[in-house]
Amino acid sequence: MKDAPTRDAYGQALVDFGADPRIVVLDAGVSDSTRSKKFGDKFPDRFFNMGIAEADMVCTAAGLATTGKIPFATGFACFLLGRTMDQGLVSIAYSNTNVKLVGTHTGLSVGEDGPSAQMIVDIAYTRAMPNMIVVQPADWEETVQATRALIDYEGPAYFRLGRPKVKGIFDSSYKFEIGKGRVVKKGADLVIFATGIMVQESMTAMEMLERNNINVTLVNISTLKPIDRGLVIEMASSHKAIITAEDHNYIGGLGDAVGEVLLDAQISKPFKRIAVKDQFAETGTGAELFEKYGLSANHIVQAVKDSLR
C-alpha cells in the first residue's frame, strides 16, 4: 500500500503501461500538475501538449480514437469539462469514441485553488451523458489498476482524480473491476457508501465511532456509472441506515446514484448524504473546507449517530 495522490498514481500508470503503441496522452498545458508529463518524458512521440485549448484537445482526442489509438485527454477537471461540454457530449459521448477524459484537482480538497477551480459538478455532468462511464479511484493501487482497466475498456470514460495525498487502502491482492464496488470493512450498524478521497475520510470517522462501540460497514464505490446495483441493494437491505460520502455537490453525484438504486428497488431506510450542499465554497485548505462545508470525518460521525437514534 502506498500513500500518494491519485494523480501521481495515474502518471506512473501511464508510464508502466505506455509500451502499448495504441496509447496516446494529451494534456491542456498542465502536464506537470496532472503528472501526464511522466508519459511525455518517456514517450514523447505519443504525447501532445495542447496548451490552454481544452476543446481542441478533446476533438483531437476523438480524431485519434477513430484511427485506433487510445487517447487519455488530461487536464484540471474544472477546465477539462467546463470548457468542453459541447465537444465532450458530441465528439465523445454521442459519437461513442474510445476517449478517456481524465480530470484532476477535483472537489473541495483542492482548497487553496479557490472556488472557481473546485470542481464539484463533474460527476453530475458525466453521469448524465449517455455512453459515458465514470470512475473515481480511492488510492494509489486502485488508480493504477483502474488506468489499466480503462485501457482495455472500449468506449468513452471520465476518470476523476484528486490533488492531495491519500492513504493507501488496497494492496496488490486487490482486483479493480469497472462497475464493481468493494466492501472495505464490514460492520453491523449502518453502511457508508463512499467514493474517492471520502473513502479515507470515512475510515477516519469509523475509527472515531469504534471508540463508542459503533461499527459500520464501508463500501468503496469507485465506479459511479455503471454503479454496482447488486452490492448497493445487498448492503442497503442488510443495514439499519445508509450514508453516502462524496467530495462533490449533493445534486447529481454518488448520493443521487445510490438513491436511484434504492428507489428502483423500493428500499426505504434512513438515508443521509455527506456532500457539498449546493453552494460554492471559498479559498482555504482542504481540511478547513471539509470541516466548514460538512465533509469532514466529524460530520460523518455525527451523521452516523443521528441515523442510529
Distance CA 15, CA 73 (A): 15
The whole-angstrom separation of Cα 195 and Cα 214 is 21
Is residue 54 annotated as part of the catalytic site, yes or no?
Answer: yes
Closest CA to 33 of 85, 80, 84: 80
Angle at which helix 197-210 crosses helix 297-307, to 10 degrees, equals 60
Choosing from 54, 142, 201, 246, the catalytic residue is 54
Close Cβ partners of 63 (under 8 Å, ≥ 6 residues apart): none
Residues assigned a catalytic role: 54
